[in-house]
Structure 1
Amino acid sequence: MFIIQNRIYSYFERNPQLHVLFIFDKMGIIQTELEEVKDWSDGYVYKVFDGAWFNTKYAIENTWKEKRVVLLFPVGTYPHSEEQQLQFPLLDMLKANMEYKEDDYASYMQQYNLPERFRGFIKKNIAEIMSSKIQNILNGHIDSATFSEDLVCRAFISNYLGDKKLLDWETIIVKMIILDATWEEKKRTDFWHRLSRNLDASKTANDKLMKLFGVSYNLNASQKMKSVAECLKYNCITQLLDVVPGDSYKQYKISSSAVLDQINKIYEWGTHDRLLSEKFIQSMRILASDIKEEEIINIYGIDANYFYYTEALCWPILQEIVEKKLMADPEDVNDRMRELSLKLPADSHIQIIIRFIEQSALFYIQVRGLGTLKLNHTKEYVNKYITEFYLVDMFYRKTLEAYHDLITKENPIEHMLNVAKRQMDQEYAKVANLLNLEWLTCVEEKGAWFTETGLKHQEDFYANESDLNVKQVIIISDALRYEVAMELMQRLAREKNMASIEAYQAMLPTETKFCKLSLLPHHSLELIGTDMAVDGTVLATTEQRTAHLDKYREGGVCVRYEDVMNGDQISTRELFKRPLVYIFHDTIDEASHSQSPFEVISACRKAIDQLSVLIKRLHATWNVTNVVLTADHGFLYNDMKFEDKDKHNITDASVEKKTRYYLTDSDEYVEGIVKFPLERVSAIKCQMPLWIGVPVGTNRLAASGGYNFAHGGASLQEMIIPVIRSQQKRTNKTEKVGISLMNHNLNMVSSRLKFQLIQSEAVSMTVMERKVVCCIYNGDDPVTQEKVLTLNSTDATNLNNRVYEVTLNLQKSVSASMLQLRIYDADDQLNPLIRETVKNNTMIEQDF
């Protein structure tokens, strides 16, 4: 509905003799609305005066003689003074007809029962108030109790910004900042022109900005919101800091906590709103570029308690941390990364850099805590690996995962990150090599050929794990290293099925063609050429393996992972009615032989995702009670180039040679090589005595095959394989994760409390998640909203992933200086888990 058009009709309806209605559009508002009118009733002519006096007069008297004429004169074409009126060429017609008047303010006030004090304001603005756009915006907001000049001026400004709904001041200011830095020149020019023409709206906007920022927009500047953006940026960063004499931006300093509260709301809205955040951050970067983060850091330092962090503020902080602290004090670096991560938007690309630095710090923390790697017994080495060192492998892999994510985007500290990554590569290579040097030295000195490790043997897997009393699925995931399986266990902890993990010892060589087939039931394993026969047959295909399995368990079948996941519902259900199914999963090994750094790391992540889904479906969808997951071998991985000088040259005659092992009939000593009788380190029988030679430590041999990703040797990473047993049963968990506060010195600043909760242990097979409710009370009266939080992290290795930041905002005025934070279990809101005193350092204002 077009209100002005209807009012025009009413003129003619009230005055049947009216021929021409003259409209003198003083502000351009009427023309703007009438331009959107597509249809006029029969008998009406709408014309915008184009300066042709004679043609217009002729048309009125002749062409439009039988019509009702609506003649609009834009600014500059109609008389203003009495003298101009006397010279108005159509004065005779004007006197014989009528002029459109915006004189509805009295009826408007009467309609809404508005107080008399608003008469002047409404009279001045009635034309704009009565326009259809403003009426639609104000619809539902106008009555005698809620009407205010501020309300109407916000409607005007909302309209100028192109919105069809009433905006609050936070959104208006955010959009003004965005518009002032936009490339849409016409839209920006039109906004400022319309705002400047409405004196009430422009004064209201100016007063609001002055009250908040002490500065306002400057109509004479090309960037009109520049000072506002600068003040906003400066105070968002430094509001918790006392001004120092060398601060060249201190003229912007705001000390009022109530004002800071409102400024924080503006900044949070701008940076977190899904539709506005990207444009707002970019606009702030442009308008507030003279508030230089590097200058703030020069004044206050990298360790200052900054309230908000812009990306530009993070770069110099991150650079100094990587350059000077990462290796020297990784514990402190890890804490800083947690703080930074919580203060930045979750989708900021800096989060990837933070994750890289955090994982690097965890890697160094773990390495520093290893203690001696020279142990007395092979069992001690195995225990060292499955309790401590596997985390070194895991953190190295996760750091590389983050690194390969971050290198896809440019960043100003790219060189420093590359240096840090290369340093970590070298550190990992050194410590992994040292561990395995000592490990193999111990094995050789004991002369036990891995028989005293305390681990079950891979070739006994089927005999140990098969269960003839239930349907069973056995998953063999090629190259699923123990540390990757441990991360998979964290994922499985979220499910209702119960899972456990045990380490087994793989055969040598730790090569797929030997180890994978040893996991099938068998009576004998025999070397034929360079292949291994199972019960006298080389099982090269899935069909051959199925035929072999059926001999031990009738109806048993071997399938590929892809065939299971791509199968239709009927065939899959039939498949898992069989008593025993072997599923061969090759994601890691298949992708990693390409030696692409990205492929190796991403394949591990992909395998965790695939296997967690597969196990869940086996239990929940396909009704399999008993699932066992294992690997044929692990792997060594170094994300660095292996030069020819780093590859061990072997002159021994060999039956087969790869980068991590070779088979030979010679038992002669070779420097840098440990030799084991093949029949002593595996269940493989040979027609003639053979030895397997493996390089000490983590060295590679000069041979065909991969160097970055390698297996076949006797390192702990290659030999220790996981066996995960998952049972379909509802959890018997009775204990929930514990919670505690990170800091007990709680202060309400700018009408809000930010605090961090720690989930004290990971969700596991024995400990369940906990849902909590957080709220602040004045006595027994809640003064903030309730915040519900689910503590469900399964990460047992990184405390940072079990820290949650909570923000509670005051919702009512509170005069008490001491309040109380209470945190309840959602299932018991009578007995708080935590009660903590909160100092109220602010008074809230409700006029924003």
Structure 2
Amino acid sequence: KGLTIPEICKSRKFKHFKDLYRDKYDVLINGYYLIYHKDIKIEDNILDLVAEYDNRYYKMDTYYRRFYYHLDKVEDNSIFEDLQTLVENIYINQYLDIISKTFSHKLDYDHLKQKYKLQKDFYTHFIAGKNERMIVIISDAFRYEVAKELVQRFKYNEKVEAKIEPQIGVLPSYTSLGMAALLPNNSIEIMDDYSVYVDGKPTNNLVERNAILQSKNFKSDCIQYDDLIKMKKEDMREFFSGKEVLYIYHNQIDARGDKLNTEDEVFVACYEAMEEIEDLIKRLTNNISATRFIVTADHGFIYTRRKNKESEKIDKFFSKDDKVNRRFIISDNSYDILGTKNMIVSDVLGNYDERTITMPLTSNVFKVQGGGQNFVHGGSSPQEIVVPVIKIKTTRGAVEVEKVKISLISMISKITSLLLSLDFVQQEPISDIIKPANYKIGFIDKSGKLISNEEIYVAKSKSSNSSDRIFNLKFRLRNKKYNRNEEYYFIITDIETGIEIYKQQVIIDIAFADDFGFDI
């Protein structure tokens, strides 16, 4: 019928045995999209590269993450071995290594700051001088593409406004340095023992970071997510009372990925991180009437399922006094090693440190002992140092109630008759947190003019059985001549807000029709 693999899989998600095959369908969908975009062209200009990473390149990382997330949930995934091999080769060889090499070659902080904010200036740009309480959620290794998905999730709630922008993280992209860069600072130093100081003060733990926050604004505080989430409402209100700047440290992704025995669970941790951040914002909005949040990260990460072969690792060339990580080396020496790039620390941090940072150009790693094989950070790929800043505004009760959504089940990519009978499904039953919604549904031309009847549907089913929430609507296109090369669209619009929740371009291939809808 000329349908794509994603179209077939999405339609079958609503069939009787959908729960048995849902993860297999998602494996196919995300594998298809990754393969379809395999010839992606990487911009050569660093400013354009970051812009395109923000706009579309990041989706390759998302397709890869979702592919393995669902593959790992398939009980017998051996049927996907050939597809897995293809996905792995395309992701690493045709995307990850190419974008990493180009980005690393062109990396220049002076050039980047002409257009993008730098992580070391985070407090100045986003916190200082604000006249309302700011709550900053710093999620360790919450990389940019995961943050993009979190923003999409927020769009389903009409009372949450979330906007994301890229920020250029510090190099090396490791936790101690990234966390320090997010504090108010005039200077950042990597000491001889490789601890990180801000304005001459240590930043290793909560007490030390809180002292730096309070030196800028005495009504500041910081807390670990795990401690905050255990608080009762009254304790939470007491902790936040009178505070203007709050830093909350969240660690789900890095905690899982940095351990050898759990690094393959990192994509599960990504979903858990999103859910925990959503829930935290909900609780703080409702419990303490917080309305302004920023979600950001210290760094991102690279993860590939294929383990690095010993022959692919960059062999030992460094001295015993160097700070050595799988993705970077800090040294008094300037090494000239094939497949690596050097930068001076002062070019990153704006200080007088003349030591050299050496990092692999691609996703390769240095040959060092310890740590996992698949999850890494510290290097200069966009996955590691393009970090998110999500600015969020909520209203009380924002995450408590949301409108129910409807989805089209029928396939309508090509229309050959004036008369159509289409099946839809209400995605969830109405409950105390899912409220009814009114939608208008129809076909339009490229100018927005209706070319069919417009159906009004009130989604209000309370049935927990999805088959009970399936409904059928009939449409009749206007009796006129259609050009298959013209743009026509099927749209679903929320009547209350006027927002289009679904829009699909369709091909109408009807030469002419009589008044009864029969092709002649």
TM tier, shorter chain? 0.7 to 0.9
1:498-537 aligned at under 5 Å gives the runs 498-528=161-191, 529-537=193-201
How far residue 598 of structure 1 moved from its aligned partner, in angstroms, is 4.0
Maintained 8 Å contact 2:342/2:358: yes
Provide closer, same or farther for how the CA distance between residues 555 and 441 of structure 1 changes in structure 2, counting only shifts above 3 A. Answer: closer
Q: Number of aligned residue pairs: give it.
A: 446
- The structure 1 residue matched to 2:144, chosen from 477, 482, 494, is 482
In 2, Cα distance between the equivalents of 1:353 and 1:488? 23
Post-superposition Cα deviations, 1:94-152, rounded to whole Å, max 9, x if no partner, equal xxxxxxxxxxxxxxxxxxxxxxxxxxxxxxxxxxxxxxxxxxxxxxxxxxxxxxxxxxx
How far residue 539 of structure 1 moved from its aligned partner, in angstroms, is 2.3
Provide closer, same or farther for how the CA distance between residues 823 and 361 of structure 1 changes in structure 2, counting only shifts above 3 A. Answer: closer
1:667 aligns with 2:334: yes
In 2, Cα distance between the equivalents of 1:500 and 1:809? 36
Identity of aligned pairs, percent? 23
How far residue 423 of structure 1 moved from its aligned partner, in angstroms, is 1.8
Gaps of 5+ in 2: 399-403, 428-435, 443-455, 461-468, 478-490
Aligned letter for 1:697?
T
1:424 aligns with 2:116: no
**Which position in structure 2 is the counterpart of 1:399?**
67
1:298-697 aligned at under 5 Å gives the runs 332-347=4-19, 349-368=20-39, 370=40, 372-373=41-42, 375-406=43-74, 409-410=75-76, 414-430=77-93, 431-443=95-107, 451=112, 454-466=115-127, 467-495=129-157, 496-528=159-191, 529-577=193-241, 578-595=243-260, 596-653=262-319, 655-683=322-350, 685-686=352-353, 689-697=354-362
Maintained 8 Å contact 2:257/2:264: no
How far residue 722 of structure 1 moved from its aligned partner, in angstroms, is 0.4
- Secondary structure of 2:247 counterpart: strand
Maintained 8 Å contact 1:576/1:624: no
Segment of structure 1 superposing worse, 557-566 or 547-556: 547-556
Aligned letter for 1:703?
V
**Which position in structure 1 is the counterpart of 2:447?**
none
**Which position in structure 2 is the counterpart of 1:274?**
none
- Secondary structure of 1:700 counterpart: coil
Provide closer, same or farther for how the CA distance between residues 827 and 579 of structure 1 changes in structure 2, counting only shifts above 3 A. Answer: closer
In 1, Cα distance between the equivalents of 2:17 and 2:405? 27
How far residue 450 of structure 1 moved from its aligned partner, in angstroms, is 5.4
Maintained 8 Å contact 2:405/2:426: no
How far residue 570 of structure 1 moved from its aligned partner, in angstroms, is 1.2
**Which position in structure 2 is the counterpart of 1:191?**
none
**Which position in structure 2 is the counterpart of 1:215?**
none
In 2, Cα distance between the equivalents of 1:823 and 1:591? 40
Post-superposition Cα deviations, 1:583-637, rounded to whole Å, max 9, x if no partner, equal 0011111111124354211110000101111123223332123211111011111
Aligned letter for 1:720?
V
Maintained 8 Å contact 2:407/2:424: no
How far residue 668 of structure 1 moved from its aligned partner, in angstroms, is 3.8
Provide closer, same or farther for how the CA distance between residues 649 and 450 of structure 1 changes in structure 2, counting only shifts above 3 A. Answer: farther
Maintained 8 Å contact 2:7/2:411: no
In 2, Cα distance between the equivalents of 1:839 and 1:611? 55
Maintained 8 Å contact 1:458/1:519: yes
- Secondary structure of 1:343 counterpart: coil
Maintained 8 Å contact 1:527/1:684: no
**Which position in structure 1 is the counterpart of 2:432?**
none
Aligned letter for 1:343?
K
In 2, Cα distance between the equivalents of 1:827 and 1:656? 58
How far residue 484 of structure 1 moved from its aligned partner, in angstroms, is 0.3
Maintained 8 Å contact 1:647/1:701: yes
**Larger relative contact order, structure 1 or 2 (CA cutoff 8 Å, min sep 6):** 2
- Secondary structure of 1:583 counterpart: strand
Provide closer, same or farther for how the CA distance between residues 684 and 507 of structure 1 changes in structure 2, counting only shifts above 3 A. Answer: farther
TM-score (norm 1): 0.48
Maintained 8 Å contact 1:637/1:708: yes
**Which position in structure 2 is the counterpart of 1:772?**
439
RMSD after superposition? 3.8
Maintained 8 Å contact 1:378/1:453: no
In 2, Cα distance between the equivalents of 1:567 and 1:617? 11
Aligned letter for 1:401?
Y
Aligned letter for 2:183?
L
Provide closer, same or farther for how the CA distance between residues 533 and 429 of structure 1 changes in structure 2, counting only shifts above 3 A. Answer: same
How far residue 807 of structure 1 moved from its aligned partner, in angstroms, is 3.9
Provide closer, same or farther for how the CA distance between residues 590 and 450 of structure 1 changes in structure 2, counting only shifts above 3 A. Answer: farther
Provide closer, same or farther for how the CA distance between residues 579 and 774 of structure 1 changes in structure 2, counting only shifts above 3 A. Answer: closer
Provide closer, same or farther for how the CA distance between residues 748 and 501 of structure 1 changes in structure 2, counting only shifts above 3 A. Answer: closer
- Secondary structure of 1:558 counterpart: strand
Post-superposition Cα deviations, 1:335-374, rounded to whole Å, max 9, x if no partner, equal 2222332334332x21211111111112223334x2x22x
1:149-228 aligned at under 5 Å gives the runs none
Maintained 8 Å contact 2:188/2:349: no
**Which position in structure 1 is the counterpart of 2:484?**
none
**Which position in structure 2 is the counterpart of 1:140?**
none
In 2, Cα distance between the equivalents of 1:487 and 1:728? 18
Aligned letter for 1:473?
I
Aligned letter for 2:82?
V
Q: Structure 1 or 2: larger strand share?
A: 2
- Secondary structure of 1:434 counterpart: helix
How far residue 386 of structure 1 moved from its aligned partner, in angstroms, is 0.9
Post-superposition Cα deviations, 1:515-540, rounded to whole Å, max 9, x if no partner, equal 11110112221222211112222222
Aligned letter for 1:701?
F
Maintained 8 Å contact 1:746/1:755: no
In 2, Cα distance between the equivalents of 1:553 and 1:428? 45
How far residue 397 of structure 1 moved from its aligned partner, in angstroms, is 0.3
- Secondary structure of 1:694 counterpart: strand
How far residue 685 of structure 1 moved from its aligned partner, in angstroms, is 4.9
In 1, Cα distance between the equivalents of 2:458 and 2:292? 37
Maintained 8 Å contact 2:11/2:411: no
How far residue 809 of structure 1 moved from its aligned partner, in angstroms, is 9.7
Provide closer, same or farther for how the CA distance between residues 640 and 334 of structure 1 changes in structure 2, counting only shifts above 3 A. Answer: same
TM-score (norm 2): 0.77
1:726 aligns with 2:388: no
How far residue 458 of structure 1 moved from its aligned partner, in angstroms, is 0.5
Maintained 8 Å contact 1:742/1:755: no
- Secondary structure of 2:64 counterpart: helix
In 2, Cα distance between the equivalents of 1:494 and 1:448? 36
In 2, Cα distance between the equivalents of 1:597 and 1:404? 13
Q: Structure 1 or 2: larger helix share?
A: 1
